[in-house]
Structure 1
Amino acid sequence: MWSVAETSPFTAEAARAAALIGKANLDSGFFPSRWDRATPAERDYLSAMAQDGEGPSLSGNVAERIGKKITSLGPARAGLINKGLVYSPEHGKVAFTVPGMADFIRRREH
């Protein structure tokens, strides 16, 4: 915001510009580095989760979207949890550990 704003107090236009720059910075480094750490099976899992937005996602819904039994997705889910990309806020649910990851995945897939 400080580098974008030309005046103080800040304007709504400056805030929108700063948000776009921030999103571009996250999209060019932070989010791709997290995505790149995932295996292809884990990326399928993340993509299925992204359909729910910021979540949480029901594990059963994720499995249904991928077209596999929920029990067969245990290794992908565990790998994502171990890598710190998702967590389980309660039994049967998974969520992204960082805000904006679902939007990043949806942007990269379209």
Structure 2
Amino acid sequence: MSDVENCIDEFLSSLDERFFKSRYERCAESDKKFIFAMVECGELPCTISNVAHNLNKTVGSISTTRAQLISKGIIYPVRYKELDFTVPEFSGYIQRLEEYKQWCISK
């Protein structure tokens, strides 16, 4: 058990730099804000209305960004009006980003 615990930080760092980062870098600024708003929901999957609320926008105004993120394979519709990330632990990567922390402060 201690071996596993000792490797967690290294494992996450490796995923952050090699796997998560490449997915994140494919995102436009509007995509990133959408992703930040999803993470801010707290528990995933989250509803599209909660994402819109976190962005201070209407559901209709974020539908294009939602479709782009689905097309890029970043998010997927879990159930009607609910979204989640396609990759487990992607929300943890976002929470570790300085850019996300700054977005939370500036809101």
Q: Which runs of 5+ in 1 are unaligned?
A: 1-11
Instruction: For residue 83 of structure 1, report the CA deviation from its aligned partner.
Output: 0.4
The 1:56/1:49 distance shift into structure 2, 3 A limit, reads: same
Instruction: For residue 54 of structure 1, report the CA deviation from its aligned partner.
Output: 5.7
Q: Higher RCO, 1 or 2 (CA under 8 Å, sep at least 6)?
A: 1
| Preserved CA contact (<8 Å) 2:41 2:50 | no
| Preserved CA contact (<8 Å) 1:53 1:103 | no
Structure 2 residue corresponding to 1:104, chosen from 87, 93, 96 = 93
Larger radius of gyration: 1
- Structure 2 CA distance, aligned partners of 1:22 and 1:33? 16
**Aligned AA (2:90):** M
| More helix as a share of residues | 2
| Preserved CA contact (<8 Å) 1:54 1:99 | no
Matching residue of 1:8: none
Deviation per CA, 1:47-75: give whole Å up to 9, x if none.
Answer: 01112346101100000100111101011
**Aligned AA (2:89):** G
Q: TM-score, normalised by structure 2?
A: 0.87
Q: Which runs of 5+ in 2 are unaligned?
A: 102-107
Matching residue of 2:33: 44
How many aligned positions are there? 99
Q: Give the CA RMSD over aligned residues.
A: 1.2
Query: Moved runs in structure 1, 4+ residues, more than 3 A?
Result: none
Structure 2 residue corresponding to 1:86, chosen from 52, 75, 78 = 75
- Structure 2 CA distance, aligned partners of 1:52 and 1:29? 26
